[in-house]
Amino acid sequence: MKKRISMILSVILALSLFTVSMTSCDEDGNSSKDDDGVTLNGKSPEEAYNDALEAINNTDNYEMTSKQDIDIEMTYSGQTMNQEQKQTIQQKKNGDDIYVKVGGASLEQETWYVDGVLYTISGDTKAKAELSLEEFTEQMMGESSNNLLNIPESWFKDVEFKTEDGQKTLEFKIDGNEYLELVGNMLDSLGASADDMDISEVVYTVYFTDDGAIEKIVTVFSASFSIQGVEATANYNTVTTISIGTAGEITAPADGDSYIDVTEQMKEQY
């Protein structure tokens, strides 16, 4: 039973992580279509979002924090168990130096990439490796490195700015089946299948500053599925805040020289 629960939680957390940095393909690039709704600094919702996203993806100095709250109900052999999972992801970049920390009930990991050396703490293991920035980005961060959602042009249909507490917002409602198409490969790697899942409409709300920068993104949805006889339902609420130009100096851990050198093992993967 514990093994089943562990697998369920892995899938649940993976779905949540994807809301932080999921990527999609905008085949048509930025659009200059006119919009009859309220504008932000003279820009339509699509123009404002794409310009703000480009600023984030092109900066070499930023901070991003994502807090995920997940309420879970699991049923097995007639017994029901409720659980709450909380996880926080912090990411900073200053030039070529990067810091990432993941903290939650099921995972604690801290990573530094400073002056061409990766340092990482995972559980009781402390390791380091000499890697190029390209190798580090590909191996440790994948396609999610400093990428937020590149929204396809079609998703902007009928989307207008709203004002919440004096702040401009955009709200996107994404069909659950379309969301499952985006996460299908990731689920396969965990031994799960998108075919066995039901995901509600995903509500994705973007908050802008007065000068047009993305300040916060809130993602809310629910998912239900069955794995190895365990029925699970999870309600997600993810809040991601972004700040450009605020990351201070990133330094290697003070005891980094004592970390186990795994450069050779990591290089073998290339």
- Alpha-carbon distance of 44 to 158, in angstroms, equals 11
Burial degree of 76 (CB within 10 A; 0-12, 13-18, 19+)? middle
Average pLDDT over residues 86-103: 90
Q: Indicate whether 216 pLDDT > 70.
A: yes
- Region 32-44 average pLDDT: 65
pLDDT (0 to 100) of residue 215 = 94
Percent of the chain scored above 70 by pLDDT? 74
- What pLDDT score was predicted for residue 183? 64
HEC per residue, 73-105: EEEECCEEEEEEEEEEEEEEEECCEEEEEEEEC
Q: How many C-beta neighbours within 10 Å does residue 207 have? A: 19
- Residue 259 has what pLDDT? 96
Residue 227 near residue 41, CB atoms below 8 Å: no
pLDDT at 143 over 80: no
The number of beta carbons lying within 10 Å of the beta carbon of residue 28 is 9
CA distance 20 to 189: 19
The helix (run of H) or strand (run of E) holding residue 260 is strand 260-261
Q: For 124, what's the count of Cα atoms within 13 Å in the CB-facing half-sphere?
A: 0
Does the domain at residues 2-16+34-265 carry the CATH identifier 2.50.20?
yes
pLDDT tier at 28, thresholds 50, 70, 90: very low
Mean pLDDT of 151-160: 81
Q: How far apart are the first and last CA of the chain?
A: 37
Which pLDDT band, with edges at 50, 70 and 90, does 39 fall under? confident
Mean pLDDT of the chain: 79
> For residue 93, what pLDDT is reported?
92
| 99/255 Cα distance (integer angstroms) | 16
What's the helix, strand, coil split of the chain in %, to 5?
30, 40, 30
Looking at the DSSP assignment, which residues form a beta bridge with residue 13?
A: none
> 80-94, 147-161, 256-270: lowest mean pLDDT where?
147-161
Q: Does the pLDDT of residue 92 top 60, yes or no? A: yes
Residue 141 to residue 178: CA distance in whole angstroms = 24
What's the whole-model pTM score? 0.79
Higher confidence at residue 168 or residue 7?
Answer: 168
pLDDT of residue 137: 77
Round to whole Å and give the CA distance between 64 and 62.
7
- Does 22 score more than 80 pLDDT? no
Residue 206 is predicted with a pLDDT of: 92
For residues 49 and 31, the answer to whether their CB atoms sit within 8 Å is no
Each domain of the chain, given as residue ranges in start order, spans: 2-16+34-265
pLDDT band at 33 (very low <50, low <70, confident <90, very high): very low
Go through the chain and tell me how many residues it has.
270
More confident residue, 115 or 7: 115
Mean pLDDT of 65-71: 89
Residue 76 pLDDT exceeds 60:
yes
Whole-number Å distance between alpha carbons of 17 and 4? 20
- The pLDDT, as a whole number, for residue 258 is 96
pLDDT digits (tens, 9 = 90+) for 183-208: 665 556 555 555 567 888 888 899 99
Contact 120, 128 (CB under 8 A): yes
Q: Which residues of 159-178 are buried (b: 16+ CB within 10 A; e: fewer)?
A: bebeeeeeebbbebebebee
Confidence check: pLDDT of 145 > 60: no
One-letter amino acid for residue 234 of the chain: A
Whether residue 30 is predicted with pLDDT greater than 60 in this model: the reply is no
How large is the angle between the packed helices 2-21 and 176-189, nearest 10 degrees?
120
Say yes or no to pLDDT of 31 above 60. Answer: no
